[in-house]
C-alpha cells in the first residue's frame, strides 16, 4: 500500500530535521534546527516562544484549548543529539523498507515529527490546552532546563514524554535517577624530586577521594561510572589540580540521597589540599506510583480504541520525565516511535512506527485524559 500524503509529509519532516545536525552545546547548529521546528510548529497551530540560553534555546509551544476546560497536557521532548556536526557524512539518511537511519532519527527527532503531524490533524477538534517543551541540552542532563520543566509540570494535568520507547514500543513508567558530578581537587605544586614534601599532589588526593566514593556505593544498587579524569601537567611537578567527572544512576531515592550526601561531605586527606564536589546535572529518581499507573491505564485504553496494543514498565535511562515523575505528576514516557540503536551508529526508527505514534498522539490529545 502506498504511503498516505500525511505519512509522507511526516517522513519528509523527519528528513529535514535529520539533515539539520544538532549536537548539544553547538548553539549555531541548534539555532538552525530550532528555526525549522518553530516554523513547523506554527503551521501546525502552535503559538511559539523561547527561553534563551547561550548554549541553545529551549522551545515552548502552546496550543489553546478548544471546548475542553482544565489544566493543559504537557509534552516533553528535545532537539539536541549526541552526534557532532559532520556525522551525516559517514552515517547518512537512508530509507530501506521500514527502516530509517540517520543521526538522531530515533533519539528523538521522529518524536517531534510525529507530534507536529498529529497536532496538525487535530487543531480544529475539541481538546484541552497543550504545552510542549523542547529542550536544547537534554543529552547532558538538561542542566539549564530543570526550572522550566518543573514550572510547566506544576500546572499540567498529565505529562507525556517523547523519548524513545522500550524495544517494541512499550512506554516507560519510571526511570533511574541520574546525576553527573564533578570532584575538583586543588593541591600545591612543587618540584617532584628536589622538594616533593613542599607539595600536595592533587592527583593522589583525587584517587583517594574516588576510592571513598566507590566505597559509599559498594553496598547499594547504584551504578557508578568514572567517566573522565584530568589533572597535573608534568611528571617532574607535583600536580596542583585534578578533577574527575562521575556518572551515577539510582534505583531508589534513599540511596540517591545517601550517596549525594557523601559527596557533599568529602574532605581532603592531605592537609594542604582542598576538595569540592558539585553537580553538573541532576535528575531525581522517578519511581512508579499511583498517578502514573492511572495515566498508563488511560493511555492503554485510548490506544486500544484505535487498534493499538501498548503497555509500560520502568526504564534504566534518564530523561526530563524523571523530574516530573519524581514530583508526583502523572507521567508516562516513550511516546516517540519505535526503533533502536540510540547513541549508536546503528540508530534507526521504524517508518510504520512513526505513523503509529502520530495516530496515538492525535488520539491522546483529543481524548478525555483526567488528572
| Per-residue model confidence as pLDDT tens for the chain (371 residues) | 445 666 789 999 999 999 999 999 999 999 999 999 999 999 999 999 999 999 999 999 999 999 999 999 999 999 999 999 999 999 999 999 999 999 999 999 999 999 999 999 998 999 999 999 999 999 999 999 999 999 999 999 999 999 999 999 999 999 999 999 999 999 999 999 999 999 999 999 999 999 999 999 999 999 999 999 999 999 999 999 999 999 999 999 999 999 999 999 999 999 999 999 999 999 999 999 999 999 999 999 999 999 999 999 999 999 999 999 999 999 999 999 999 999 999 999 999 999 999 999 999 999 978 87
Looking up cell 530509507 gives 95
**From CA 41, how far away is CA 137, in angstroms rounded?**
20
Separation of CA 56 from chain center: 15
Helix ranges (H only) for 65-162 are 110-122, 146-153
**From CA 311, how far away is CA 297, in angstroms rounded?**
8
Domains, the chain, ranges and CATH?
Answer: 5-176+285-366 (3.40.630.10), 177-283 (3.30.70.360)
Q: Which helix (H) or strand (E) holds 331?
A: strand 331-332
Residue 244 backbone dihedrals phi, psi, to 5 degrees: -140, 140
Specify the pLDDT at position 4: 67
Separation of CA 106 from chain center: 13
Measure Cα distances from 362 to 118, 296, 355, 357 in Å: 5, 16, 11, 8
- Considering only CA atoms, which of 153, 179, 107, 180 is closest in space to residue 334? 107
Measure Cα distances from 215 to 139, 201, 210, 218 in Å: 28, 22, 9, 5
- Sign of the four-CA dihedral 30, 32, 38, 43: negative
Record the pTM: 0.92
CB-based contacts of 38, cutoff 8 Å, min separation 6: 48, 50, 59
Amino acid at each position: 500500500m502506498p504511503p498516505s500524503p500525511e505519512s509522507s509529509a511526516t517522513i519528509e519532516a523527519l528528513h529535514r530535521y535529520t539533515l539539520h545536525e544538532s549536537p548539544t552545546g553547538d548553539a549555531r547548529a541548534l539555532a538552525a534546527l530550532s528555526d525549522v521546528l518553530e516554523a513547523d510548529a506554527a503551521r501546525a497551530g502552535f503559538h511559539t516562544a523561547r527561553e534563551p540560553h547561550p548554549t541553545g534555546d529551549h522551545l515552548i509551544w502552546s496550543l489553546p484549548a478548544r471546548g475542553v476546560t482544565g489544566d493543559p497536557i504537557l509534552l516533553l521532548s528535545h532537539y539536541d543529539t549526541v552526534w557532532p556536526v559532520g556525522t551525516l557524512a559517514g552515517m547518512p539518511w537512508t530509507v530501506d523498507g521500514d527502516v530509517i537511519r540517520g543521526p538522531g532519527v530515533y533519539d528523538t527527532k521522529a518524536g517531534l515529527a510525529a507530534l507536529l503531524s498529529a497536532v496538525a490533524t487535530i487543531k480544529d477538534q475539541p481538546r484541552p490546552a497543550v504545552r510542549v517543551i523542547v529542550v536544547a541540552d537534554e543529552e547532558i542532563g538538561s542542566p539549564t532546563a530543570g526550572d522550566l520543566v518543573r514550572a510547566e509540570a506544576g500546572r499540567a494535568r498529565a505529562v507525556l514524554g517523547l523519548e524513545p520507547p522500550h524495544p517494541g514500543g512499550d512506554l516507560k513508567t519510571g526511570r533511574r535517577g541520574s546525576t553527573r558530578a564533578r570532584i575538583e581537587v586543588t593541591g600545591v605544586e612543587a618540584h617532584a624530586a628536589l622538594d616533593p614534601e613542599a607539595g600536595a599532589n592533587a592527583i593522589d588526593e583525587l584517587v583517594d577521594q574516588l576510592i571513598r566514593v566507590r566505597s559509599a556505593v559498594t553496598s547499594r544498587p547504584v551504578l557508578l561510572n568514572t567517566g573522565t579524569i584530568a589533572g597535573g601537567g608534568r611528571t617532574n611537578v607535583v600536580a596542583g589540580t585534578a578533577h574527575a567527572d562521575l556518572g551515577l544512576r539510582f534505583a531508589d531515592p534513599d540511596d540517591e540521597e545517601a550517596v549525594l550526601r557523601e559527596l557533599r561531605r568529602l574532605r581532603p586527606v592531605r592537609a594542604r589540599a582542598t576538595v569540592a564536589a558539585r553537580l553538573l546535572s541532576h535528575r531525581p529518581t522517578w519511581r512508579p506510583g499511583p498517578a502514573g499507573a492511572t495515566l498508563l491505564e488511560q493511555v492503554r485504553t485510548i490506544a486500544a480504541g484505535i487498534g493499538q496494543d501498548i503497555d509500560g514498565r520502568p526504564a534504566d535511562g534518564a530523561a526530563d520525565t524523571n523530574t516530573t515523575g519524581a514530583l508526583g505528576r502523572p507521567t508516562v514516557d516513550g511516546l516517540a516511535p519505535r526503533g533502536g540503536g540510540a547513541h549508536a551508529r546503528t540508530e534507526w526508527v521504524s517508518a510504520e512506527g512513526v505513523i503509529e505514534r502520530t495516530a496515538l498522539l492525535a488520539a491522546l490529545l483529543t481524548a478525555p485524559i483526567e488528572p
